Structure 1
Amino acid sequence: MDIRPIHTDADYQATLREISALMVDDPAPGTPEGDRLDILATLVQAYEARHFPIEAPDPVEAIKFRMEQRGLSVKDLEPLIGKSNRVYEVLNRKRPLTLAMIRRLHRGLGIPAAALIASDAASR
């Protein structure tokens, strides 16, 4: 089992090709092929985390995304944020989210609290 760390984009692409080839056969866990797939996937995850980090979403964008997912309107957010003018202020970054709003949005829409708390500067 000759496995090396992924250092370059060429290494990364070659590892992805090997993973794709292994997945075609759907190897069982605990087999040599299954173990190889598991190790290669772990290496790819580490490489991607280092070279392609995913930042937390902007709180307002997280709210808008959830609204779009569920087909919600400003009126639907009123119980969670306040009257429609307040909802518009939040969505237009004129007013920051309060702790109470964050709690209600988290409970009511299932948006992770961490996404709603993210950088105050991003939400203004």
Structure 2
Amino acid sequence: MNWTILKTEEDYTEASERLMDIFHAVPNTAEHDELELLSLLIEDYDKKRYQLPRVDVRDIIKAKMQERGLKNKDLEPIIGSKSYVSSILSGERDITLRMAVKLRDFFNLPSDLFLQAQS
């Protein structure tokens, strides 16, 4: 089949079903090329139609703190003084690049979370 940009849910369903049929295609074959094309078309359709909600990195940090049983004072070595930690977590101050790196490493978070917060 000659695939084009997916415009309808029917197109999307058809492409998804075909992708599953050829999922284990052997590299360097026409089927594998079709698989790669379908992957791109499906990804494009998903991005245009299904927006994931933005997550506030502060909420993620608070959830990680709760998960680990941490208090605000436990972040003082990473962020700074008690009042600074409080103002960061409340949203009164922005997370700096230096803090983002330290928080990313401390909580093992993806860097994208911090980039998303800035856009």
TM-score (norm: length of structure 2): 0.70
Identity %: 27
**Where does residue 73 of structure 1 map in the other structure?**
70
Distance 1:19 1:72, change over 3 A: farther
**Superposed displacement of residue 60, structure 1:** 0.6
Where 1:16 maps in the other structure, the secondary structure is helix
The structure, 1 or 2, with the larger RCO (C-alpha pairs under 8 Å, 6+ apart) is 1
- Shift in alpha-carbon separation, 1:107–1:95, aligned structure 2, 3 A: same
Is 2:93 the counterpart of 1:82?
no
Contact 1:66–1:111 (CA under 8 A) maintained in structure 2: no
Q: Which residue of 1 aligns with 2:56?
A: 58
Query: Structure 1 CA distance, aligned partners of 2:36 and 2:48?
Result: 19
- CA spacing shift, 1:58–1:30, aligned 2, 3 Å: same
Deviation at 1:72, TM superposition (A): 5.5
Q: Please state if 1:37 is matched with 2:35.
A: yes
TM-score (norm 1): 0.68
Question: Where do 5+ consecutive residues of structure 2 fail to align?
Answer: none
| CA distance in structure 2 between the partners assigned to 1:40 and 1:98 by the alignment | 40
Consecutive unaligned residues of structure 1, counting only runs of 5 or more, are none
Distance change >3 Å, CA 45–CA 73, structure 1 → 2: same
1:4 is matched with which residue? 4
Relative to structure 1, is the Cα distance of residues 15 and 68 closer, same or farther in structure 2, using a 3 angstrom cutoff? Answer: farther
1:19 Cα deviation from its structure 2 partner: 1.0
